[in-house]
Structure 1
């Protein structure tokens, strides 16, 4: 089965290369040099920020185990990270809109560097502080940078369509190329150079420091609402009112939470799904394969968004449907396993044959057999998981594009962090009850959420097709109701 990993990786690498090299003029948008300089500057910074994040991911759990902490203690550390992102995310998002997005991006760098420094201490309280700082930094990473980009793009007078170029390239590089290179670098530092599991965190600090200085000397400041100074509570309330009063924003938030909640749950589940009997699987190589799939998705997204049709709201319905189907595979293979066992025994009764009697071995190893290579069912699941990662690659630039269209500029960071509140609650609940439910139930729940996201996306598509005149009329009506009478 080891050849299977190389075959999947090689095919995906060839597909990604072919997708990039085969882009026609219809798939490309000609842009002036001024925009290209701006875009490349942002992509360089964003790649450095993502390198700092990706270097840490594969080694957080491993580092905690080397300090002697068990699964329960590590689970509490992870919950602290997601919990701090939920509690402080909206606050730091509001501060980003009020105090400036450039300052928020610099704050991200400083906060994440401090989080990396805490990894040198084996003390549980220090590690807990590091997780809290990491949660705050994550909120800034997924709100402040995008908010700065959209505001700066519009301030410089660039065409709205050009945003899709920056979004798709950012995901292709940050969640694809950089993720693979960061994994290889981390593996070299820990294994080849034997610098220990804390070495990737030190390397992440270096990348974050470089990116921080680039931001300091090349970025300009922009704000959520420069026309008036609002206090934090007023800004927070305004963002909540915007979500409650605009169905498009509420739908977008629900869609994002459902998809990202399923995605983060998948991060915890794919390893036991592919090795239910402790099969020997190459985790790093599989991770690189997933990142290649994500690169293919982002490449496909850039091709789709460069054209007038299909619209983002349209093709994302298919993306959510495919992702829901791909996460059903662990359940389907489980049913096939039960059916395969029954079939093999029935056939053995009629036609005794060791080949068919051992048909169950072809599907998955029995529960009392440990180790060995990946099963046939695991191979099928791996292909499905690659399809899901391709959907992830499609999702990120597409959701960024829709956010730039529907979220008001004055409270962009605040609203984007509002979206992460249900996401973080969901992930914390999953982490807390990860041993309470069978794995098939967890995958079934994720698939259901993705199917609901598909239905909500269909609703968003229908609303976005309404004539803009109706939207303007409804806005004027709301404004007239909100204005006080001057007597």
Structure 2
């Protein structure tokens, strides 16, 4: 393994450690023992769920190549996953609101374990079934757990600011530390112990099973809409009306779709981008480095969210702009750096520059997750939270499916360029969202003052 990888990993580790150990009282939120117990239980479960997800991440593309499938066939497999998330996501989200978020979280575990089992077969049809199951599981992961947390947090009457603490800690550990350990653990299973590229999927099943046992034994059930008479169509209509009638929700959905669409496209593209001529790259170690970058971003986000005077809508404009520049780097290097034509070997100079840019992008991802969770908790109505959150995933899944379907038709630089444009657009929409939020505040204040004047004679 080249020294460059260790240098980047070491530098990022030092920065993360400095951020964490330099926190002051202004960067921390004072809570209660009851809340800490609740928070730690959720973070443990969330970390186990993410371990099951992150163990698979670096090896999905690689596993398919070992079965003899090319980029086009692999792209179609990825399309099946995102397509099933788009088709079934809103349905499972509505069922989570109606039938219970705890049940939906357990369903996620079962569905993802079945998806992992299919990876043992090299048959294309079985792998396709696994991708469909994985797409359904992804919809549940990114809606049901957050919906359960917000509802349970409110039900227990905890301070609203404490919710951002849970979000930032969950991302720091689940999307940071756990992801790093998962990447390194996967590297040990595949490269050190030579257990094959399917071994991380077996390990993922074990972590998912442990997390499911904790959910079943310690979580209580909560629901969205209290009315049991509402069918799925009525729930869909209610969610669509909420999005159409509230500009803040619509903007938030568009921003999320643009960013996550670019992020998921990046997940598919980073491997061929760093090894265009079949260079030998340590997938697990690079993945761990990306997750360390994400950890850095979530550590920064925890500081930003702890300051009530700093609005999340404001700083996210900068985050989206920076992420757009990061994904533009592969396009710039293709013009400024002479590409290597040598097959195999180590990472090229162009690859090193791109890796640094990708790490910066992952840091933006680390800031994005707790920040978007905070905004969703503020703007999305509780009664249809899972349904609306999965509505947001429809356009992003369409975008990713279109990109992957045409993966052989366009150079990688064109796809990175498209992602960069979408991220710049997300920055513009975030600026609009900030303006809408600021505009609504004086109106709320005026309405409050008018009510006080109306009731003044009665109180006199």
| Partner Cα separation in structure 2 for residue 73 and residue 187 of structure 1 | 25
Equivalence for 1:280: 280
Change in Cα spacing, 1:380 to 1:65, as seen in structure 2 (3 Å) is closer
1:211-268 Cα deviation digits (max 9, x unpaired): 1111111111111012553111100110011001110000000000000111111122
Deviation, structure 1 residue 271: 2.6
Q: How does 1:41-440 map to 2 (within 5 A)?
A: 41-227=41-227, 229-337=229-337, 364-367=338-341, 369-440=342-413
Moved more, 11-20 or 114-123: 114-123
| Partner Cα separation in structure 2 for residue 380 and residue 154 of structure 1 | 45
1:261-299 Cα deviation digits (max 9, x unpaired): 111111222233333333333332222111111100000
Consecutive aligned runs of 4 or more in structure 1 exceeding 4 Å deviation: 471-474
Which runs of no fewer than 5 residues in structure 2 stay unpaired? 448-460
| Partner Cα separation in structure 2 for residue 91 and residue 390 of structure 1 | 32
Deviation, structure 1 residue 330: 1.7
SS in 2 for 1:466: helix
Aligned residues: 447
| Partner Cα separation in structure 2 for residue 259 and residue 16 of structure 1 | 24
- TM-score, structure 2 normalization: 0.93
- 8 Å CA contact 1:277–1:365 kept in 2: the answer is no
- 8 Å CA contact 2:72–2:407 kept in 1: the answer is no
Deviation, structure 1 residue 185: 1.8
Deviation, structure 1 residue 76: 2.0
| Root mean square deviation of aligned Cα | 1.8
| Partner Cα separation in structure 2 for residue 266 and residue 120 of structure 1 | 26
Deviation, structure 1 residue 473: 10
SS in 2 for 1:315: helix
| Partner Cα separation in structure 1 for residue 335 and residue 122 of structure 2 | 44
Equivalence for 2:457: none
Deviation, structure 1 residue 469: 6.8
Deviation, structure 1 residue 446: 0.9
Which runs of no fewer than 5 residues in structure 1 stay unpaired? 338-363, 475-487
- TM-score, structure 1 normalization: 0.88
1:128-177 Cα deviation digits (max 9, x unpaired): 22111111010000000000000000000001100111001111111111
| Partner Cα separation in structure 2 for residue 36 and residue 461 of structure 1 | 31
Deviation, structure 1 residue 66: 3.4
| Partner Cα separation in structure 1 for residue 265 and residue 347 of structure 2 | 22
Moved more, 430-439 or 275-284: 275-284
Change in Cα spacing, 1:66 to 1:270, as seen in structure 2 (3 Å) is closer
1:306-358 Cα deviation digits (max 9, x unpaired): 01232100000000111111111122222323xxxxxxxxxxxxxxxxxxxxx
Deviation, structure 1 residue 118: 1.9
| Partner Cα separation in structure 1 for residue 376 and residue 61 of structure 2 | 33
| Partner Cα separation in structure 2 for residue 175 and residue 51 of structure 1 | 9
| Partner Cα separation in structure 1 for residue 180 and residue 340 of structure 2 | 34
SS in 1 for 2:439: coil
1:17-72 Cα deviation digits (max 9, x unpaired): 11111100000001000000000000000000001111122222333333343433
Deviation, structure 1 residue 202: 1.7
| Partner Cα separation in structure 1 for residue 326 and residue 125 of structure 2 | 39
| Partner Cα separation in structure 1 for residue 211 and residue 422 of structure 2 | 36
SS in 2 for 1:447: helix
SS in 1 for 2:171: helix
Equivalence for 2:453: none
Deviation, structure 1 residue 392: 0.4
| Partner Cα separation in structure 2 for residue 366 and residue 190 of structure 1 | 28
Change in Cα spacing, 1:7 to 1:453, as seen in structure 2 (3 Å) is same
